[in-house]
A and B are shown apart, each in its own frame.
Chain A
Amino acid sequence: MKDVHPKNPENSDQHETIKFNTSFISPSKLVSGPSISPAKFPSVPTTAVNLENAGSINAADLLPSQSSHTSSTEVPDSSHLRVANNHSSGRFSLASENSYVPSIAGLTSEDEEDDREDNNIETSHNEEEDLQSILNGLIRHENHFNGQISHRNSLSSPRQEISFLDLNIFPNSETVQNGEEYYNKYIRISKDEDEAAFVEKLKHFFILSSAGKPVFSMHGADDIIMGYMGIITTIVSTFEENMKEEIKSITVGDRIKIVAINKNPLILVAVSQISYEMMSFTHNESVEEELHPRPNSLEDHDSDSDDLILINQLNTLYNYLLSILSKPTIEKNFHNRMNYDLRRVLTPLDFHNFEALCLKLTYGLPLLKEGEKISDTSSFDFYIGELLDSSIQSVKIRNTTRNRLNNIFLSCKRIKVKEDDLDSEVNSDSVSFFSKAEDQERYLGEDLLFSFLTTSSNRILSFMKPRNHTLSNEDLKILFSMISSAEMQSGDSEFTEDLWIPLCMPNFNPNGFLYVFVRKFDLSEYVEPRPTVSQPLSIILISSNKNTFFKMREISRYIITKIVKGENSRNNPLSRELLESTKLSILNDIRVPAIKHFIYKLKCSNQFIMNDMVYYNNDRSMNTLLQLVYFYSILHNSKATKIKSKLKATYNHETGLVRQINSSRSESKKLTYTRWNGAGTSVTGFMLSDDVYEFYCLSNEEIGSKDLIANSLKIIQWCEKYRKRLFLGEGVTF
């Protein structure tokens, strides 16, 4: 079967290798593998290591002969780590961002309690040298950049604006004039009846019933997709019926990949022509794997890392369906009749949400209306989170603040009320009569299962959970996406509309629903003088009982009161603290010239922080966004160089300390260095990881390896020092 892809049959003349990936056939050895197309720039992006020669490099081998090489650990004095005050290098002053106040408050030693909880890093100051040597060695190994590395190009030479088209991130760049045209032709979601245009889109998603009835298609009018649904069904079934195999994926050369997952009675298919999605990518074996296995994806793919990226995307779409319908409902409807049309229970908002998911899963782009500009980058945050194995983004707040919030949540579980104290939701169906007792009291929050306090961009400030239950990051993403989508419907207004949403959390329990209460309030209303910019926070209370809306509502009022008035007479209100501490502007606090953008992920908690995209190129344009997506995808998905070093980082969960200890067996340290060069411009990407963290950064200036390493380590150390402020722990449990 040659022409299995619904593309123009003209291409069938090309002699391309078509690879079928099925569940019982071992992957064919004739895989040509996706190749990263060279940038349009004169030189080729260098990875630190040639894929074939990926091996571990012994640090010792590359070290220039060193006289004394001590491995003693030294505790650097605090001055070494104290951050600079209010320093802005030329590159970082941003006219556009008024709301970004360099937040120094949390970083000085005023609050002793905070400081005590911050970490002292024990590290070897030779680590830097080691890494540098490795990096230099690798760069020399590649024989590039003669003379370019040693000096830093100053800020004086004008940088050329790079367009994502120039980077050849996507195919067919030469067919259009500019980025906007490219976007409209190949990326933007279109429901037109023009089949030629449909076929050219870079990415497709299809959801259909196993009978071939469409549930959702990313692009195309109904008329167009009907036929494709039939074809997909036929192909999937052909493998099943004729070969007793389950088709997993089909790869055509390095051009196109089609991945299918069977979620009987549904089939989900992704078709992609995007190089960074077709990369083979293995999970980083690490602590994180044990702590946060991804059940769905592991079950589906065995060891097929080739398809993992697209499979994960399909699972995300499937989980959305589960979250609104639940598994038994889907199965029951089709069990009753195979010709069931699932679209009957879907709303226009669901389709909107699907489309938004498709775009952010693929490109990190938001769903925009015609001519609309990007105003918020939550879709980019989402993409990065998915890239980092379903990681969630955290927000920095002071430890004391977080502790106080945690305690407020905990106290919710202790509120006692008499039944008739409430705006009665006496459920006449299930009234039970207790035989006695004058003072029967109930706990207001007895059905409260999970609670969150989040910022408007869905970053968690504080949360509470039961001892024996957790919501996985995947479930959290669904939760927050749904809440954002519901809030969007109420428009922006000063009024609060309390929401009550039945939601199935697939990883928690795909067979039943939880009930989500959401109340938004504006912190700035409670601070004098009133700030000009609003600071909305959301209280999210998840109940196990559908009849408890009013109880949840009561609890939310309690929480707000506690926050704005203080928990007791001794405490100051939290509102001001919250207002100030949630602003994150790391790069204003540390001086790391030339590193424009970075991501730091803490593996054990599967959370990450990154700075605002605007720091990279002074804008939040689609052009910039697509580039960042591309660079980070390459950095993450490329096979890294393992570093055998004498030092191993270990993380002590109880004390929260990171220690470097002597170990001959450490294999977890990895490094990737990539550079794209072009006329007058270059972009450097760097990845460093070990058991504890993954770190990525980008620079669009000339940066030498010395600075790259030094500045990266600076950021890493800053993150480690403030780990408790930056990352959520286990939350508070009851």
Chain B
Amino acid sequence: MSAPTSNQNPQSSQSTNRFAQFKLVLLGESAVGKSSIVHRFVKNTFDDMRESTIGAAFLTQTITLPESKTTIKFEIWDTAGQERYKSLAPMYYRNANAALCVYDITSRSSFSKAQDWIKELKKQAPEGIVIALVGNKSDLADSREVEESEVEEYIQQASEDGSSIITSECSAKSGDGVLEIFTSIAKSLPVEEAVGAGTNRNRAGAGNRRAGGVDLGRARRPEQASSGCC
């Protein structure tokens, strides 16, 4: 059984009867704090000694939007930022509903890298993907290299094509602002649609698939080709 998706979110105690599920991916330069942000969100922990991510990790976490009484489940890809993994990124954002492009506010180069990611997402990622530009390590504001005004400026330019990008700063170390980011993202996602689609597909409590069963009665979809064949 998969681990219970426990909620650190105090709001989760409220009952909801609507449910939606989204895929989310974190991108960004190595060492900006992607894994730390995710771990803060999912496990509410922070580990100073963590080194790099190998490959990618997949986690889930659920939050509640009290206003709409909806439970939102995030399926999160925490990707490795090291250059050598760059070409694998499309695999993770290809079906993503949202992407966090993370940079470190004390590193200008990481900000530049985050912008590169946004550019790539706009070109290659599914249309309508919700993009969040997140500046981590706000607890190190003394060593800040990226000013919020710069970020504003960049966002204005980047939004000229009609897209909108959420921006925020946070500190995975202290926890400041982390939950808010995910909540904002949730609010920007097409929740209604997802809830509707989910009900139709009977996806409530997704993850309880009949293991090993053959499911009849589904509309057939084009099949995935085996790689490299024909």
Contacts and interface: CB of A to CB of B under 8 A. Distances in A.
B42 to A, nearest CB: 7
Interface stretch (B45-53, B64-72, B109-117, B141-149): B45-53
B2 to A, nearest CB: 6
Contacts of B219: 420
Given A348-B51, A546-B88, 7 more contacts: A411-B212, A426-B222, A440-B223, A498-B57, A499-B54, A560-B1, A561-B212
B47 A545 contact: no
B43 A420 contact: no
Q: State the main secondary structure of chain A at its contact with B.
A: mixed
A418 B214 contact: yes
A433 B75 CA distance: 28
B59 A434 contact: no
Nearest to B206: A423
A347 B52 contact: yes
A486 B214 contact: no
Contacts of A547: 91, 224, 227
Nearest to A545: B227
A214 interface: no
A428 interface: yes
A670 B11 CA distance: 70
Interface string A496-509: 11111111000000
A430 B55 contact: no
B220 A440 contact: yes
Interface in A417-458: 417-421, 423-428, 430-434, 438, 440-442, 446-447
B91 A546 contact: yes
Interface in B1-21: 1-3, 6
B212 A495 contact: no
Interface in B49-92: 50-59, 75, 78, 80, 82-85, 88, 91
Contacts of A415: 212
B43 A493 contact: yes
A501 B55 contact: yes
A57 interface: no
Contacts of A425: 95, 224
B199 to A, nearest CB: 17
B97 interface: no
A419 B218 CA distance: 9
A67 interface: no
Contacts of A417: 214-215
B123 interface: no
Given A425-B95, A557-B211, A501 B43 contact: no
A628 interface: no
A503 B84 CA distance: 12
A144 B84 CA distance: 61
Contacts of B31: 348
23 contacts: A324-B84, A344-B83, A345-B83, A415-B212, A420-B220, A421-B218, A426-B222, A428-B94, A430-B224, A440-B223, A442-B223, A486-B57, A489-B35, A489-B52, A489-B53, A490-B39, A493-B45, A497-B57, A497-B59, A499-B57, A546-B88, A557-B209, A564-B1
Contacts of B6: 495
A494 B214 contact: no
A344 B29 CA distance: 13
Contact of A416 (B78, B85, B91, B214): B214
B55 A497 contact: no
Contacts of B95: 424-426
A180 B83 CA distance: 40
Nearest to B3: A496
B226 interface: yes
Contacts of A482: 54
B54 A485 contact: yes
Given A428-B94, A491-B50, A560-B1, A421 B82 contact: no
Contacts of B45: 491, 493
Contacts of A434: 222-223
A558 interface: yes
A482 B52 CA distance: 12
Given A425-B95, A500-B58, A433 B3 contact: no
A418 B84 contact: no
Contact of A432 (B39, B94, B212, B223): B223
A500 B223 contact: no
A349 interface: yes
A213 B221 CA distance: 53
Contacts of A324: 84
A490 B57 contact: yes
A25 B31 CA distance: 49
A433 B222 contact: yes
Nearest to B216: A418
A345 B225 contact: no
B82 A501 contact: no
B146 to A, nearest CB: 22
Nearest to B21: A423
B57 A431 contact: no
A710 B50 CA distance: 50
**Closest CB pairs A-B (n = 10):** A501-B55, A432-B225, A347-B52, A349-B51, A349-B52, A558-B211, A345-B84, A498-B58, A496-B3, A486-B54
Given A482-B54, A493-B43, A496-B3, A427 B222 contact: no
B30 interface: yes
A352 interface: yes
Contacts of A433: 222-223
Interface string A326-354: 00010000000000000011111110100
A503 B56 CA distance: 12
A292 interface: no
A411 B51 CA distance: 37
A266 interface: no
Interface string A368-398: 0000000000000000000000000000000
Given A446-B226, A489-B35, A545-B227, A557 B221 contact: no
A420 B214 CA distance: 11
B181 to A, nearest CB: 20
Contacts of A430: 224-225, 227
Interface string A511-543: 000001000010000100000000000000000
Contact of B224 (A431, A546, A560, A564): A431
Interface string B180-224: 000000000000000000000000001101011011101111111
Contact of B88 (A442, A494, A502): A502
Contacts of A111: none
A427 to B, nearest CB: 6
B91 A426 contact: no
A532 B2 CA distance: 20
A420 B221 contact: yes
A240 interface: no
A497 B1 CA distance: 13
Contacts of B227: 430, 545-547
Q: Which of A352, A411, A430 has the most CB of B within 10 A?
A: A430
A222 interface: no
B221 A426 contact: yes
Nearest to A499: B57
Nearest to A441: B214
B52 A348 contact: yes
B50 A438 contact: no
Contact of A418 (B50, B83, B220): B220
A431 B230 CA distance: 12
A186 interface: no
Nearest to A369: B49
Contact of A420 (B3, B55, B218, B225): B218
A352 B50 CA distance: 11
Nearest to B201: A420
B24 to A, nearest CB: 14
Contacts of B221: 419-420, 424, 426
Contacts of B54: 349, 482, 485-486, 489, 499, 501
